[in-house]
Amino acid sequence: MNTIDKTKFPRVLIVGGGFGGLQVAKKLADKPVDVLMIDKHNYHTFQPLLYQVATGSLEADSIAFSLRKNFSGQKNFRFRIAELQKVNAEKNTVDTTIGEITYDYLVLATGSTTNFFGNKEIEHYAMPMKSIPEALNLRSLILQNIEEAVLLTGKEEREPYLNFVLVGAGPTGVELSGALAELRNHILTEDYPELSKEHMRVILVDTMPRILGAMSEQASKGSHDFLTSMGVEVMVNVKVNSFDGNEIKFEDGHTIRTKNVIWSAGVMGVVPDGISKDIIQRGNRIKTDSICRIDGSANIFAIGDVAAMITDETPKGHPGVAQVAIQMGNHVAKTILKLINGEPTAPFKYFDKGSLATVGRNKAVADLGKLKFQGFFAWIIWMFVHLISLLGFRNKIVVFINWTMSYLTYNGGARLIIRRFNNEAPQQEEEHLAKSDG
Residues 132 and 247 in one domain: yes
Residues 61 and 171 in one domain: no
- Looking at the chain, the whole-number percentage of residues with pLDDT higher than 90 is 89
Report pLDDT digits (tens) over 264-279: 999 999 999 999 999 9
Residues 162 and 231 in one domain: yes
Q: What is the mean pLDDT of the chain?
A: 93
Residues 62 and 82 in one domain: yes
Residue 411 resides in a domain: no
Q: Which amino acid is at 350?
A: Y
**Does residue 175 have an active-site annotation?**
yes
Between CA 90 and CA 103 the distance in angstroms is 11
The yes-or-no verdict on residue 372 having pLDDT over 90 is yes
For the chain, the domain total comes to: 2
Range of the domain at 335: 11-114+268-340
8-35 per-residue burial string, b: 16 or more CB within 10 A, e: under 16: eebbbbbbbbbbbbbbbbbbbeebebbb
Greater pLDDT, 395 or 436: 395
Of the pLDDT bands very low, low, confident and very high (cuts 50, 70, 90), residue 425 is: low
Residues near 156 by beta carbon (within 8 Å), at least 6 away in sequence = none
Between CA 95 and CA 359 the distance in angstroms is 43
Q: Which of 233, 265, 297 is the last residue of a domain?
A: 265
Report pLDDT digits (tens) over 39-90: 999 999 999 999 999 999 999 999 999 999 999 999 999 999 999 999 999 9
Residue 207 resides in a domain: yes
186: CATH: 3.50.50.100
pLDDT at 437: 43
Q: Which of 1-15, 124-138, 349-363, 402-416 has the lowest mean pLDDT?
A: 1-15
Residues 128 and 246 in one domain: yes
Of the residues 175, 217, 429, 431, which is catalytic?
175
Residues 96 and 207 in one domain: no
Backbone angles phi, psi at 368, to 5 degrees: -115, 85
Residue 168 resides in a domain: yes
Report pLDDT digits (tens) over 403-423: 999 998 888 778 888 888 886
Residues 249 and 126 in one domain: yes
